[in-house]
């Protein structure tokens, strides 16, 4: 028996965003909040992608450890102006991940945990 549910190797789609505040070129490691502005039609696409992912997550047996460790991965591609939604395998409780490293004002790009995107994981009800 596998250790975790089989995950999709592609996204549930996503949408384009108009702009960020502060701008991508202004991001520093000290940036605490990133506002992302999305047009209405694209927001509908993002809503659909999130709904599809949540429906898939809901199909897993949540009473098992494997089912509880699945989540939604919101990927923000800063260089492409795109947001995508993927399924994620969440770390065990208490697992510390490295802090995010974002581009500095001089324009040098840093890897975000080895991937040039910002990853946000959110799953309601995880204890």
Which tens digit of pLDDT belongs to each residue from 19-54? Answer: 999 998 898 888 889 899 999 999 999 999 999 999
Judged on CB neighbours under 10 Å (0-12, 13-18, 19+), 82 is middle
Tokens 């450890």 appear where?
65
- The region that residue 47 occupies, defined by phi over 0 for left and psi between -120 and 50 for alpha, beta otherwise, is alpha
pLDDT of 27 reads 87
pTM: predicted TM-score of the whole model, two decimal places: 0.64
Q: How confident is the model at residue 15 (pLDDT cuts 50, 70, 90)?
A: very high
């Amino acid at each position: 028996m596998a250790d975790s549910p089989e995950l999709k190797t592609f996204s549930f789609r996503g949408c384009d965003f108009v702009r960020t505040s502060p701008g991508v070129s202004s991001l520093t490691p000290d940036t605490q909040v990133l506002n992302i502005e999305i047009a209405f039609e694209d927001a509908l696409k993002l809503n659909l992608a999130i709904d599809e992912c949540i429906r898939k997550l809901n199909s897993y047996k949540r009473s098992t450890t494997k089912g509880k460790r699945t989540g939604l991965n919101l990927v923000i591609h800063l260089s492409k102006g795109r947001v995508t939604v993927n399924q994620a395998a969440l770390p065990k409780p208490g697992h510390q991940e490295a802090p995010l490293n974002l581009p500095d004002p001089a324009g040098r790009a840093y890897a975000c945990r080895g991937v040039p995107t910002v990853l946000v994981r959110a799953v309601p009800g995880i204890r």
